[in-house]
């Protein structure tokens, strides 16, 4: 799996992301050929080598020519993409990015009519469209199948806009992060606008927020226009192969808390709430606490995006005063469900696969229970029969070069 990772060291903007692609080896002529499929002419891309802090990379100037003072609307963006010569997959990705950007602008202006034309302000220029289409096409030209990213660094202070001063982490940018439930570092050491709305729209729409393990092949650095003395205005792009085993590694968080003063009924309730929230597993372990009190260690494994909500649930629904958290990674085998015809009737099997081949299968408990009750057989006998017959069918499928038997 060819995977790219965006290290948003100094933030992200559309032109910085494009520059990172070029610096990572994307041929300029190939990018220009893709952008030439848009029904607009007269713009030029001028990349150049530059330096921000101690980082050498590519800075990109997008010159709009006669389009410099033209304002475009969301409908203009959509029309130009739909009537372009881009492939359907590229059109769909570009329209998703632009659609999310438009939705964020509506929220920023408290526009409740979803059919209303959003006020794109400074975003209503051709370079917004060129950035979006260029990044979508550039990732495909580099062969990137999956894009990942670090958290969004929010800049501190204020910026100027057509409507007056705005926070450096502009409202549209904040709404894009909220729409994607993206991880954001609150304003701190970075000053000024670090992530633009266009950059946020591209990253939150196209990328997963996780840290992959890559066999690194190429690196590119896209440079912003500002050259700050204490922090490089740079986005890094790492491209490499994510091995099959690595691709099945999920970035999760483990929450733990020790409790010795809560009624047992509440533990079951909290477990149900955590699982309903999206926790992958919740379990309890007996422990010995201070003052020789027997206690319970409550542990919950869940996706990192759910951490804040799960912590809030634990602090409000249990008697604990604190929750420990630590990142963990879990290797996951691909799983699928297949219906297998057995002598006792069709049964759904949960098939575990590795390297494209089935390695084990387990029958669905509820279906086996229903068969046992219907035929008056012991449940363990039903499960043994369907497991044996399903295993034979899976072995036959593997010998014939198929991953699994055909569904009934």
State the pTM of this model. Answer: 0.62
Of the two residues 72 and 81, the one the predictor is more confident about is 81
Instruction: Note whether 32 and 141 are within 8 A (CB).
Output: no
Q: Which pLDDT does position 270 carry in this prediction?
A: 95
SS3 state of residue 65: helix
Tokens of 368: 């086996």
Which residue matches tokens 């994607």? 180
Of the two residues 331 and 15, the one the predictor is more confident about is 15
**pLDDT at residue 403 greater than cutoff 70:** no
Q: Which pLDDT does position 245 carry in this prediction?
A: 45
Give whichever of 35-44, 109-118, 182-191, 224-233 has the largest mean pLDDT: 35-44
Q: Which pLDDT does position 118 carry in this prediction?
A: 62
**pLDDT at residue 255 greater than cutoff 80:** yes
Least confident of 80-84, 317-321, 401-405: 401-405
What are the pLDDT digits (tens) for 151-192? 999 888 887 776 678 887 888 899 999 988 889 988 877 888
Domains in the chain (CATH in brackets) are 2-247 (no CATH), 250-331 (3.30.70.1380), 335-399 (3.10.20)
Q: Distance between CA atoms of 358 and 336, rounded to whole angstroms?
A: 10
**pLDDT at residue 119 greater than cutoff 70:** no
Instruction: Note whether 359 and 353 are within 8 A (CB).
Output: yes
How big is the chain by its Cα radius of gyration, in Å? 26
Sequence-ordered strand ranges (E) for 95-214: 146-149, 152-153, 158-159, 166-167, 184-185, 207-208
Least confident of 17-26, 200-209, 223-232: 223-232
Give whichever of 169-178, 324-333, 345-354 has the largest mean pLDDT: 169-178
Q: Which pLDDT does position 113 carry in this prediction?
A: 64
Q: Which pLDDT does position 121 carry in this prediction?
A: 61
Q: Which pLDDT does position 315 carry in this prediction?
A: 95
What are the pLDDT digits (tens) for 353-386? 776 677 778 888 888 999 999 999 999 999 999 8
50: β partners:
57
Closest CA to 210 of 239, 182, 237, 173: 182
Q: Distance between CA atoms of 298 and 322, rounded to whole angstroms?
A: 12
Residue 51: band (very low, low, confident or very high) from pLDDT cuts 50, 70, 90: very high
Least confident of 22-26, 224-228, 318-322: 224-228
Per DSSP bridges, beta strands 345-354 and 335-342 are antiparallel
Per DSSP bridges, beta strands 44-52 and 55-63 are antiparallel
If you average pLDDT over residues 315-330, what whole number do you get? 92
Least confident of 196-210, 267-281, 330-344: 330-344
Tokens of 113: 């009519």
Residue 61: band (very low, low, confident or very high) from pLDDT cuts 50, 70, 90: very high
**pLDDT at residue 246 greater than cutoff 60:** no
Instruction: Note whether 223 and 200 are within 8 A (CB).
Output: no
Tokens of 342: 């057995």
Secondary element (H or E) of residue 95: helix 88-108
298's CB contacts (< 8 A; 6+ apart) are 256, 257, 258, 259, 267, 270, 282, 284, 314, 318, 320
Q: Distance between CA atoms of 376 and 370, rounded to whole angstroms?
A: 10
Q: What is the mean pLDDT of the chain?
A: 86
Of the two residues 251 and 89, the one the predictor is more confident about is 89
Secondary element (H or E) of residue 22: helix 14-23
**pLDDT at residue 287 greater than cutoff 90:** yes
């Amino acid at each position: 799996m060819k995977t790219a990772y965006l290290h948003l060291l100094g933030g992200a903007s559309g032109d910085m992301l494009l520059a990172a692609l070029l610096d990572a080896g994307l041929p300029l002529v190939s990018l220009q050929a893709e952008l030439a499929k848009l029904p607009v002419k007269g713009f030029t891309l001028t990349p150049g080598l530059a330096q921000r802090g101690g980082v050498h990379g590519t800075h990109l100037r997008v010159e709009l020519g006669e389009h410099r003072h033209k304002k475009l609307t969301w409908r203009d963006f959509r029309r130009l993409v739909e009537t372009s010569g881009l492939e359907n997959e590229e059109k769909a990705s570009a329209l998703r990015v632009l659609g999310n950007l438009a939705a964020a602008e509506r929220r920023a202006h408290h526009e409740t009519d979803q059919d209303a034309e959003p006020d794109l302000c400074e975003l209503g220029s051709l370079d917004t469209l060129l950035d979006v289409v260029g990044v979508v096409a550039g990732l495909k030209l580099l062969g990137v199948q999956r894009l990942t990213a670090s958290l969004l660094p929010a800049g501190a202070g204020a910026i100027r806009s057509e409507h007056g001063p705005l926070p450096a982490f502009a409202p549209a940018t904040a709404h894009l992060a909220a729409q994607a439930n993206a991880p954001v570092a609150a304003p701190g050491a970075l000053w000024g606008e670090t992530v633009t709305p266009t950059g946020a729209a591209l990253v939150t729409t196209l990328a997963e927020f996780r840290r992959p393990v890559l066999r690194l092949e190429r690196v590119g650095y896209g440079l912003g226009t500002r050259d700050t003395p204490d922090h490089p205005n740079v986005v890094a792009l790492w491209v490499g192969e994510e091995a099959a085993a690595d691709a099945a590694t999920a970035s999760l968080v483990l929450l733990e808390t020790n409790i010795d003063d809560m009624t047992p009924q509440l533990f079951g309730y909290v477990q149900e709430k955590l699982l309903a929230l999206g926790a992958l597993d919740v379990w309890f372990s007996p422990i010995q606490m201070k003052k020789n009190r027997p206690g319970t260690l409550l542990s919950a494994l869940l996706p990192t995006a759910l951490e804040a909500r799960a912590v809030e649930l634990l602090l409000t629904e249990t008697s604990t005063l604190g929750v420990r958290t630590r990142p963990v990674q879990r290797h996951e085998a691909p799983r699928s469900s297949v219906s297998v015809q057995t002598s006792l009737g069709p049964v759904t099997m949960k098939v575990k696969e590795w390297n494209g081949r089935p390695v084990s299968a387990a029958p669905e408990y509820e279906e086996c229970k229903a068969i046992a009750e219907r035929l008056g057989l012991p449940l363990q006998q039903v499960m043994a029969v369907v497991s044996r017959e399903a295993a034979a069918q899976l072995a036959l499928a593997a010998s014939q070069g198929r991953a699994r038997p055909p569904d009934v």
